[in-house]
Structure 1
Amino acid sequence: MSDYEVELFREQGFSRKKCPKCGRYFWTLGERPDCGEPPCSEYSFIDNPPTKKRIELNEMREIYLSFFEKHGHERINRYPVVARWRDDIFFSIASISCFQPWVLNGTIKPPANPLVMSQTALRFNDIDNVGKTGRHFTMFEMMAHHAFNTPQERIYFRDETVELCHNLLLELGIAGEDVTYIEDDWAGGGNSGPCFETIVNGVELATLVFMMYEETPSGRKEMDMQVVDTGYGLERFAWVSQGTPNAYEAVMPEVLGRLKNELELNEDHNILREYSRIAGMMNVESNADLKQLRKRVADNIGIPVDKLISVTKPFEDLYAVGDHTRALTFMFNDGVVPSNVKEGYFARLLVRRTLRSLKNLSLKLPLHEVISWQIKSMEKYFPEFKANREDILNLAEVEEKKYDKTVIKGRAIVERFDEGLESKGTEKVSTGDLIYFYDSHGLVPELVKEFSRLKVEIPDDFFIQVAEKHTTPKKEDVDRVSLPPGLEPTELAFYRDERKRRFRAKIVRLFDNYVVLDKTFFYPEGGGQETDLGEIDDRDVTEVIKKGNVVLHRVKRLDGLSEGMMVSCEINWDRRIQLMKHHTATHIINGAARRVLGNHVWQAGAHKSEDLSRLDITHYASLTDKEIKEIESLANKVIREDRPIKKYFMDRNDAEEKYGFTLYQGGAVPGKEIRIVDIRDWDVEACGGTHFDSTGALGCIQITRVKRIQDGVVRLEYKAGAALERHRKGIEEIACEVDLQHLGEEELKELAAIFSVSIEKLPPTLERFRDEWQRNLKEIRRLEETIEKAGVYSKKYKKLPVGDAFKSYHQLFSEWKQQKKDIVKLREELVERVEEELRKKLESDYTLVDDVRMVKQLTNNLEVKNLNQLANSLLEKNALILIANKSGGKANIVVASDSKYSAVDVAREICKRLGGGASGNKRFSVGGGPSAKLGDVVSEYKP
């Protein structure tokens, strides 16, 4: 019997046929001549649904789940759209991705067997087709039933799978004669197997995959576990049962209805129906495909293409808004914060595409308002949306404001880029340039086209190209050491007793300055926690790493050690205690941040060292002082309450069911069992680090620094234990050094913020400002003397501020700022005087050299930018302007020429005589050198 011959086909008299159009084999009841799938056959369900009644989306989901429950399947909840349990993909792309790799490789059992679910999934490989074809979505629900068959336990396989599918279709009222099962072969992730594509009236409703082979270099090998992997498209089932012109109308009627109420659309049902029908016959992947689709539809209906576009283009944008805001609702709810990296990149991509579509529709609706409609339409079936509503809408609102700022800056960015291309003789903005604008500056290609004066052609698959660059997470190279063969796993004894300081162990292998023991209480670097240090038989342990299941201890020398000998080991206990405090502090801070900022907060990175701990969290804005204080206050409240901390191993499925996927705050964790760190009623995470038994052991946590390290990610730095004591002692020493020993850290922070430095940099900064205050005063007096206004400004600054140190430092900064303003004003007055003198010289007091008017001007205490301003504003035709400025021991030369004399040649000649140099072009040049001979050189110079 072939892989495709099942009991149902034999019992009910299905015929196996070869499609005369595509050549594929299919099974059918009746006399169907072809496989039934486009382009071999077209949609026949639009306005003519094959089901016994029209079924809306949520009802269809429940019918499906209940059907399989009745047939022995256990219903399980959806997994998040963000695949936090995996490190090879960002999003759940199908129901089977929820069980890879741990269930499929036999590490753990499935959460139920057999099971049924409706899994929300995201795919971006067809994003440019969304809204255009009538059937493409970025976010969709894959209804699925799975069975995991092992040699010890057979659940069901091909026969039962096809029978269940067929009976479901019949129960929906679909006639058996309307169903075809196309034979196909599925492969992916190193596995393969036969599959059926289930077609009804032209649309593929389900795919039934029988994963049974492993692909090896020597060919197919039968798997130990054989998996029923099915996917039923919820959106397509709703579409087919309602017979609407496209899937969007069936999936989002409430939201689309509200959007239409805001618009005046020419909704021609016949055109939309024909458009979807023909789009279903085509694989629209390029702009050429889209043009061909529009021409075919226009020809069929008998209208010009431009009229067709005028009807369909607004609907393409409308449907894109509906799909993208629906996807964003799930992404924001499940913890994605828009950014320029990882999963956040795709959220930002959808936001910006949505805003562009809203603009195309001339809709002034805020993004968060449309998302609020999505929440309202779905919260009954996804109650988590109601609980997280505020978070979801905040994310949308903040991201829209960021985009508005991007647009404001965008024009200048594109103009500068145009100038660069034009200087190279380029007249066109390439696709690569468009991707650069989007990735580096957040500018969608339509904006670039609007802002650019060059030719811009936008590829129809632009966002598909962009998404492909970011689809797969980048993996860090951690293969620093190659293990010798034959090593048994090291017993991780520190999990038995985190308080063990000294122990005896046997050496099982020595290589490359590494010692492998049969057991170890040394904690290896991992989970952001630095390695333990210590000694093995009086040899310093400088690093401990875990490679697979083996722990390696790096020592400075191996002499005197041999395999099989027993050794005495001791951990640097002060360091271990400090690392434990900082790791425990990280869990406490993370729990506090989620409570203060919202459930969208996820750990984006962490590091725990002896001196400092840091936690990177996803958040859409910089933290306010109030938020920082609230997080710190909450964290210390948890410490004072001395909450118990439990650490235990738990079956992965049981842990996920009990605690949810917030377990994976620190990222994907391998293994059948995962270690849980549970701070009572505060934070539960899968974590392999070392921790105390209660929160009170930390004593206190202090957040020492907070900064935004990239868009969408905020870093909190904090200290506890001995590190905090050292920090506070250091602050006291700094306070004494700047005569502020009576102040606390908060006041010092306030003072440091005024000078835009950290507390540690206050002493040299204050000294520098004192010196600058004195230099500024001298500069003010020099400028006053130059313009004959002695004391007008300088009388305000009699002496350096003294008295109460805190107040005097405030006054120092205030006066320093005012000095800078006064210097600018004085220079402006001086520039006005010099300009007036130069104008008079150009009119009547110039030197005529070969019919060129040459004027020279000597000045003092101006800046080069002032000289540039003068030269550019005064330059006239057939004139040569030479301005020389003396400031301290330096001379600055600016030459402007609109004559036969080259400005750069003149400047170089003068600067050469001074002992300096110049650069520029024929019209304008800047140079300089020592000022000792400046007056003589300038007065004597002739071109």
Structure 2
Amino acid sequence: MDTAEIRRRFVAHFERAGHTPVPSASLLLDDPNLLFVNAGMVPFKPYFLGQETPPYDRATSVQKCVRTPDIEDVGKTTRHGTFFEMCGNFSFGDYFKEGAIELAWDLVTKPLADGGWGLEEGRLYPSVYQDDPEAVELWKKVTGLPDDRIIRLGKSENYWSMGVPGPGGPCSEILYDRGPAYGADGDFGAEDRYLEIWNLVFMQDELSAVRSKEDFDIAGSLPKRNIDTGMGLERVAFLLQDKANMYEIDVMFPVIEKAMALTGKTYGANPEDDVRFRVVADHVRSSMMLIGDGVTPGNEARGYVLRRLLRRAVRSMRLLGYGDPALPELMPISRDKMSETYTDLQHDWERISRVAYAEEETFRKTLQAGTQIFDLAATDVKKAGATRLSGEKAFALHDTYGFPIDLTLEMASEAGLSVDEDGFRSLMAEQRQRAKDDARSKRGQHADTGVYRGILDAHGPTEWLAYETLQTESRPLALLQGGAVVPVLGNGEVGELVLDRTPFYAESGGQAADAGVIEFDGGRLEVLDVQRPIKGLVVHQVRVVDGEFAPGSELQAQVDPEWRTGARQAHSGTHVVHAALREVLGPSALQSGSYNRPGYLRLDFGWTTGLSPEQVADIELVSNNALRADLPVGWQYMTLPEAKDWGAVALFGETYDDSKVRVVEIGGPWSRELCGGTHVDHSSQIGTIVVTGESSVGSGNRRIEAFTGVEGFRYLARERDVVGQLTSLLKTQPDDLVGRVGDLVERLRSAEKEIEKARLSQLLAGGGQLAAGATVVGGVHVVAHRVDGAGGGDVRTLAMDVRSKLPAGAPGVVVVIGAADGKVSVVAATTESARTLGLSANDLVRAVGPFVGGKGGGKDDVAQGGGTDASRIDEALAAVHAAVAATTQSSPGQA
């Protein structure tokens, strides 16, 4: 039975049992605790946490998932994949344990001819939480199995929680016995023998004080008991397809077959190669699915995971003996298998393939440079009789050559070396701290939303009127400060205000929240921000600017009309620029993020190369032509499938209502996007769009910034003023300004070159004098010289010049130290005859390093280094003489 049929039978089974089929959510959800969706229940978390009311009592889904902790296990076990599909059925206060057991057992054991999976009952073992006798009795009742076929396990295996206070409960797993070839009889810890295919979570407890997975307090019972199940599609597929592991199923093995054809190696012939083949199959598919959902390669968070997957796949192919670009050969195979279910892979293939292939090309260059550096470093370690690569070298590989630490660890292991990971991690501390700070700054973290839920339950959802009006008479429902209800806010204090109705736009979809005021009898509040902490509730952050505010009589909520006008212009302008971008670059140039506030917009989009000035000018021209055409702007509501059929563009990672979405169109099919923002009525009302910049915001991501409306005109006016001042200053006409400035720049460059020549001549003029004044130490001519105001290039030039002017054939050493802009530069050079005495430029630079607060190195003939402490340069120069003296005294023939 192929994977598509297994999936179809799962959904059909639960649909017949009254479950609403829910399409897979994107792998990217707005959850600060997760990089990716890692389980089928994740899209339903707001329902389980009580943050939102579910629109159905029963649901079923086949959810795309990615689990990053499993990357290291990929290919080494039968069941670990980075990307996988989790089939699940969910009950929100409807059926509970008995219903979940009946539904699962029925599908698993039902004959193939009746729409089931036909697994042999004699191979199935249910497991239960050891303190859940009710589940034991229900399994015996539903299945007729004897007591000894039901396995009791502890908390670590059969109790589920999210790791935070909230819902939890015991669970039951269905285990499939694969036979004695995979482990001992009755050893239920042998996961290859007793393979878990389905986990049924009985969500019944309210957990508090969660200290670990196995250490928590149960505060009581949930008001509604829920069911959350998860079944690994790939696991069931390799059982029903009689394969040894998940990598050999119908949607993955064709990639291995292609890899065999490319490399000339045979899967199954060598265990090491088999792991590499499996890594290729998994990582090619996982990378493709991540790019399909909007991830682009980068050095942090999601982008880093994708980059790591792509690079591991490419390197595995190289280790299998294939050195040419591999992804163009492999990824289309995976696309053809997965697009049978996920049709967007075909429609969006141009963008997906462009991102993947560009990353492989970048990595091929990185591999070429980084591998050479690693090999040299590994050779040095072995020559020194050591077995450990320093953290500094690992960090240099990462920081300078883009070599990820996991690749360094893999290559070191293959070379029989270890890596000072602690040293590397210490050097990376600053980057990690920045990432943590960024994560903390994210909005929407799972704070305690109980107070908001209580307000919503007591008063119902906020009547949101941002589309209809700019002012309303409103009644205060709650006043909060620091997450708690307060009776009053004094003058100047800031708090949160919930109204029964509001005209204020709450920040979402890239559009900044409205500004304005809320007036009350005897005073006024300034609206600082507007958010939706939970679905249905609008919360205003306010500051008392006049009087003292205590919730009481009705209020007057007023949006600043100038602010709203500017916001509408900017948001509609974002849609116009997006449409223009796709017209100029092609339909694969899709928005990956945006932000707009009155008068300003920025739009991020997936693209692997910088735009030319001509392309930027074309985007601006197409945008302003759309404004001049006075295109009508309209919106309507429809289902998500209808919107997609209509050609509407959805933003990567955004979640949309299951029943209706809002589609905004500008000029009919020219621009159709899912959007909840505020917009102008005709494109001409945007006023103008002035593109001010195009830049990179990470690998595979570009950003366009622009001003709109009055801000656009102000920007052009400032540009005009600058042009006017320059034409007056240079006494030329605007049309001749570029040529005039170009001439001046060229003359300036010529003058700088002449000055540089003169300066260099002056510097070198003293070289002969320095060589002639060399001090003889132990028969060696030594020049140790200080040059203030000289940088690294000048110091090296002078040192080499002085060495060339030392007496021919005589042993000679030159060390020049320069200091400029707070930095110290050191260059040492030796003659051939000096080297025969054991004098090394590399040793001399290392001897100087501690005095100038730095380090360096090189070869015996020339070496260089640097530092930050110029106060001890004279001591460093004295150390040169001492080092030469010590070497010559111990050198044969010099005693």
Q: TM-score, normalised by structure 1?
A: 0.65
2:98 matched to 1:176? no
1:717 to 668, 682, 705: 705
Match of 2:616 in 1: 628
- Matching residue's letter, 1:216: L
Match of 1:403 in 2: 363
Match of 2:309 in 1: 350
Would the aligned equivalents of 1:131 and 1:319 in 2 still touch at CA under 8 Å? yes
- Matching residue's letter, 2:126: Y
1:575-594 correspondence to structure 2 within 5 Å: 575-593=563-581
Where 1:100 maps in the other structure, the secondary structure is helix
Q: What's the CA shift string for 1:10-64, capped at 9, x where partnerless?
A: xxxxxxxxxxxxxxxxxxxxxxxxxxxxxxxxxxxxxxxxxxxxx3444544455
2:50 matched to 1:90? no
1:200-239 correspondence to structure 2 within 5 Å: 200-201=177-178, 202-204=193-195, 206-217=197-208, 219=218, 221-223=220-222, 225-239=224-238
Q: Which runs of 5+ in 2 are unaligned?
A: 130-157, 179-192, 209-216, 422-427, 480-487, 853-868, 880-895
Aligned CA distance change for structure 1 residues 206 and 169 (closer, same or farther; 3 Å): farther
Match of 1:810 in 2: 742
- Matching residue's letter, 1:259: A
2:352 to 377, 389, 392: 392
Where 1:351 maps in the other structure, the secondary structure is helix
- Matching residue's letter, 1:122: V
Q: CA deviation at 1:624?
A: 3.1
1:340 to 291, 299, 320: 299
Would the aligned equivalents of 2:293 and 2:653 in 1 still touch at CA under 8 Å? no
- Matching residue's letter, 1:375: R
Q: What's the CA shift string for 1:220-241, capped at 9, x where partnerless?
A: 7554554443433332333223
Match of 2:261 in 1: 261
Match of 1:920 in 2: 873
Q: What's the CA shift string for 1:529-559, capped at 9, x where partnerless?
A: 1541457478583624447446446446333
Q: What's the CA shift string for 1:662-703, capped at 9, x where partnerless?
A: 645584579998776565546666655433234332133221
Q: CA deviation at 1:352?
A: 1.2
Match of 2:694 in 1: 706
Distance 1:625 1:634 in 2: 14
Aligned CA distance change for structure 1 residues 699 and 804 (closer, same or farther; 3 Å): closer
Would the aligned equivalents of 1:147 and 1:155 in 2 still touch at CA under 8 Å? no
2:835 matched to 1:874? no
- Matching residue's letter, 1:326: R
- RMSD of aligned residue pairs (Cα, Å): 5.6
Aligned CA distance change for structure 1 residues 558 and 238 (closer, same or farther; 3 Å): same
Would the aligned equivalents of 1:859 and 1:883 in 2 still touch at CA under 8 Å? yes
Q: What's the CA shift string for 1:755-798, capped at 9, x where partnerless?
A: xxxxxxxx9xx99xxxxxxxxxxxxxxxxxxxxxxxxxxxxxxx
1:659-808 correspondence to structure 2 within 5 Å: 663=650, 665=652, 667=654, 681=669, 689-739=677-727, 804-808=736-740
- Matching residue's letter, 1:714: R
Distance 1:894 1:134 in 2: 57
Match of 1:747 in 2: none
Match of 1:791 in 2: none
Where 1:340 maps in the other structure, the secondary structure is coil
Would the aligned equivalents of 1:514 and 1:552 in 2 still touch at CA under 8 Å? no
Q: CA deviation at 1:387?
A: 1.8
Where 2:745 maps in the other structure, the secondary structure is helix
Q: CA deviation at 1:256?
A: 1.6
Q: What's the CA shift string for 1:146-200, capped at 9, x where partnerless?
A: 2425359999433233223221579555433233323343413332233132314
1:559-578 correspondence to structure 2 within 5 Å: 559=547, 563-565=551-553, 571-578=559-566
Match of 1:130 in 2: 74
Distance 2:670 2:79 in 1: 44
2:515 matched to 1:532? yes
Q: CA deviation at 1:577?
A: 1.3
Distance 1:683 1:103 in 2: 37
Match of 1:79 in 2: 25
2:279 matched to 1:320? yes
Would the aligned equivalents of 2:409 and 2:419 in 1 still touch at CA under 8 Å? no
Aligned CA distance change for structure 1 residues 593 and 168 (closer, same or farther; 3 Å): farther
Worse-matched range after superposition: 249-258 or 320-329: 249-258
Q: CA deviation at 1:601?
A: 5.8
Aligned CA distance change for structure 1 residues 534 and 896 (closer, same or farther; 3 Å): same
Choose 1 or 2 for highest CA Rg: 1
Match of 2:865 in 1: none
Worse-matched range after superposition: 480-489 or 503-512: 480-489
- Matching residue's letter, 1:558: D
Where 1:343 maps in the other structure, the secondary structure is helix
Distance 2:96 2:848 in 1: 90
Match of 1:543 in 2: 528
Q: CA deviation at 1:390?
A: 1.7
Aligned CA distance change for structure 1 residues 864 and 514 (closer, same or farther; 3 Å): closer
Q: TM-score, normalised by structure 2?
A: 0.68
Q: CA deviation at 1:581?
A: 1.2
Distance 2:849 2:761 in 1: 28
Q: CA deviation at 1:629?
A: 3.7
Match of 2:142 in 1: none
Would the aligned equivalents of 1:897 and 1:924 in 2 still touch at CA under 8 Å? no
Aligned CA distance change for structure 1 residues 233 and 401 (closer, same or farther; 3 Å): same
Distance 2:744 2:663 in 1: 54
Distance 1:854 1:472 in 2: 53
Q: CA deviation at 1:561?
A: 6.0
1:17-416 correspondence to structure 2 within 5 Å: 55-62=1-8, 64-65=10-11, 77-80=23-26, 82-84=27-29, 86-102=31-47, 105=50, 107-109=52-54, 113=58, 115=60, 117-144=61-88, 146-150=89-93, 156-167=99-110, 172-184=117-129, 185-189=158-162, 190-201=167-178, 202-204=193-195, 206-217=197-208, 219=218, 221-223=220-222, 225-251=224-250, 252-265=252-265, 311-366=270-325, 367-408=327-368, 410=370
Where 1:579 maps in the other structure, the secondary structure is helix
Worse-matched range after superposition: 127-136 or 824-833: 824-833
2:494 matched to 1:495? no
Where 2:110 maps in the other structure, the secondary structure is helix
Would the aligned equivalents of 1:904 and 1:922 in 2 still touch at CA under 8 Å? no
Would the aligned equivalents of 1:897 and 1:922 in 2 still touch at CA under 8 Å? no
Q: CA deviation at 1:736?
A: 0.3
Q: What's the CA shift string for 1:440-467, capped at 9, x where partnerless?
A: 934354447769999842699xxxxx9x
2:503 to 505, 521, 525: 521
Q: CA deviation at 1:886?
A: 15
Match of 1:273 in 2: none
Would the aligned equivalents of 1:616 and 1:713 in 2 still touch at CA under 8 Å? yes
Aligned CA distance change for structure 1 residues 426 and 564 (closer, same or farther; 3 Å): farther
Worse-matched range after superposition: 434-443 or 895-904: 895-904
Q: CA deviation at 1:735?
A: 0.8
1:408-557 correspondence to structure 2 within 5 Å: 408=368, 410=370, 428-429=388-389, 441-447=402-408, 456-457=417-418, 474-476=439-441, 495=465, 498-500=468-470, 510-512=488-490, 513-514=493-494, 516=497, 519-523=501-505, 527-533=510-516, 536=519, 541=526, 543-546=528-531, 548=533, 549=537, 551-552=539-540, 554-555=542-543, 557=545
Where 1:337 maps in the other structure, the secondary structure is coil
Would the aligned equivalents of 1:541 and 1:555 in 2 still touch at CA under 8 Å? yes
- Matching residue's letter, 1:398: A
Alignment coverage as a number of residue pairs: 749
- Matching residue's letter, 1:235: E
- Matching residue's letter, 1:495: L
Distance 1:585 1:545 in 2: 22
Aligned CA distance change for structure 1 residues 806 and 873 (closer, same or farther; 3 Å): closer
Match of 1:743 in 2: none
Q: What's the CA shift string for 1:87-115, capped at 9, x where partnerless?
A: 54332323333333247748354579454
Would the aligned equivalents of 1:584 and 1:695 in 2 still touch at CA under 8 Å? yes
Would the aligned equivalents of 2:528 and 2:541 in 1 still touch at CA under 8 Å? yes
Where 1:243 maps in the other structure, the secondary structure is coil
Where 2:46 maps in the other structure, the secondary structure is coil
Distance 1:260 1:600 in 2: 32
Would the aligned equivalents of 1:603 and 1:666 in 2 still touch at CA under 8 Å? no
Q: What's the CA shift string for 1:885-909, capped at 9, x where partnerless?
A: 999xxxx9999899999999999xx
